């Protein structure tokens, strides 16, 4: 659960789930923790779990009386527990409460609406008694639902809210309103200065636009957006569920809303995506992602703009490995990658597509030959620790080749081969010959 893993509720829940079968003397599982190594939350639940198992009937045993269960735990018949917690268990008040819990658990307690329906249709009850019983039971559930709502709102980072449409009115869970320093009730939210400051006008406008576009549809509204935090974008997910008028199931009267902080999740996803797309040695795009990005750029390209693909490799790179070793060869490639990045714009694409082979894609205005000549001489000059930096480069453009990655790549690769045949250290551009 990436959104909640650092919240106290989740941390304690994880401790309980993993370690409630550990024992104070180290005889438990799964990690064989001992004494204070076991989180106190897991120690408490360990005793509660054993007590519950003893006092409840199972397919393999009858239920033990509460006092018998307590005696078994205190006598060490169910494993070793923290002596301090066992002292608490001996307290008469605690034992009384435990007995009451067992008695309640054995009673037929109303737990859901289906059970209410079964009980309310019981033929033994008179109609008036059934009605009274149903009203009381539903009131009980309503109170329990409100308690649940308050609990989850306060213990998680979810912002729960409701939007009424006519008139436009916003209500927010009290704990979240307090945390983000905004009123829990806002009339005319699209013009509220504080809400505009927190969310941004463009985000509020988008929410209202999505609501307008969703009229007549039964699907939830669900999308991501960002707010500015410290000069950087902070990502959120918003979900809106329509609420309909009781007399007109097609008329939306408002929305139940949930605002989720997904920033950590999105950053983790982007980091993983980036690590899967970057060549570790050079920091440029790897072969697969270079191809994906070039194809995407060509598909989305303005037909009025021209694009070029250049393929280059390092002349006599084998000598660097043979004479100085592969570690030095890696340094040369990393150095060349920096030269490539320094010769192009941020919007251009650069990737490593082979051992010492690189690809550049750029959109160019004007004379391609002048642009590529500048890039070529910026990259192919000087030396690295005595090893001369000389490259051969082949170029193909959409002026002469259709906007297809494979065609452009093959022609640029052929021109690179022509540069090699011409003695290396030169640039060859396809001009439709």
Positions annotated as catalytic residues are: 356
What does the block give as tokens for 17? 């789930």
Strand pairing of 349-352 and 383-384? unpaired
């Amino acid at each position: 659960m990436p959104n909640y893993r650092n919240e106290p509720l989740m941390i304690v829940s994880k401790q309980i789930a993993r370690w409630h079968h550990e024992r104070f003397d180290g005889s438990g599982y799964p990690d064989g923790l001992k004494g204070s190594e076991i989180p106190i939350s897991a120690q408490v639940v360990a005793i509660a779990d054993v007590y519950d198992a003893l006092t409840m009937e199972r397919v393999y045993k009858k239920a033990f009386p509460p006092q018998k269960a307590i005696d078994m735990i205190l006598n060490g018949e169910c494993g070793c527990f923290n002596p301090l917690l066992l002292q608490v268990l001996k307290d008469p008040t605690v034992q009384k409460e435990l007995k009451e819990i067992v008695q309640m658990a054995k009673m037929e307690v109303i737990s859901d609406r289906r059970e209410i329906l079964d009980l309310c249709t019981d033929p033994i009850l008179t109609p008036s008694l059934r009605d009274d019983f149903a009203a009381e039971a539903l009131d009980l559930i309503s109170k329990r639902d409100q308690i649940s709502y308050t609990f989850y709102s306060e213990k998680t980072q979810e912002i729960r809210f409701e939007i009424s449409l006519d008139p436009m009115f916003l209500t927010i869970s009290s704990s979240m309103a307090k945390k983000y320093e905004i009123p829990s009730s806002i009339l005319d939210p699209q013009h509220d200065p504080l809400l505009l400051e927190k969310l941004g006008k463009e985000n509020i406008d988008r929410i209202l636009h999505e609501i307008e576009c969703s009229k007549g549809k039964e699907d939830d509204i669900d999308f991501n957006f960002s707010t500015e935090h410290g000069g950087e974008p902070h990502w959120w997910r918003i979900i809106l569920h329509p609420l309909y008028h009781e007399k007109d199931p097609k008329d939306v009267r408002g929305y139940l809303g949930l605002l989720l902080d997904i920033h950590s999740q999105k950053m983790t996803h982007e980091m993983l995506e980036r690590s899967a797309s970057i060549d570790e040695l050079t920091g440029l795009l790897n072969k697969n992602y270079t191809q994906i990005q070039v194809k995407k750029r060509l598909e989305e390209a303005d037909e009025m703009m021209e694009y070029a693909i250049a393929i280059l490799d390092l002349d006599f790179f084998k000598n660097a490995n043979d004479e100085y070793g592969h570690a030095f060869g890696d340094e040369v490639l990393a150095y060349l990658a920096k030269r490539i990045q320094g010769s192009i714009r941020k919007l251009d694409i650069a990737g490593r597509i082979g051992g010492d082979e690189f690809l550049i894609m750029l959109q160019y205005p004007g004379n391609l030959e002048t642009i590529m000549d500048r890039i070529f001489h910026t990259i192919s000059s000087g030396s690295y620790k005595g090893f001369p930096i000389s490259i051969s480069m082949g170029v193909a453009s959409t002026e002469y080749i259709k906007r297809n990655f494979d065609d452009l790549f093959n022609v640029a690769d052929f021109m690179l081969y022509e540069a090699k045949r011409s003695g290396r250290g030169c640039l060859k551009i396809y001009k439709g010959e």
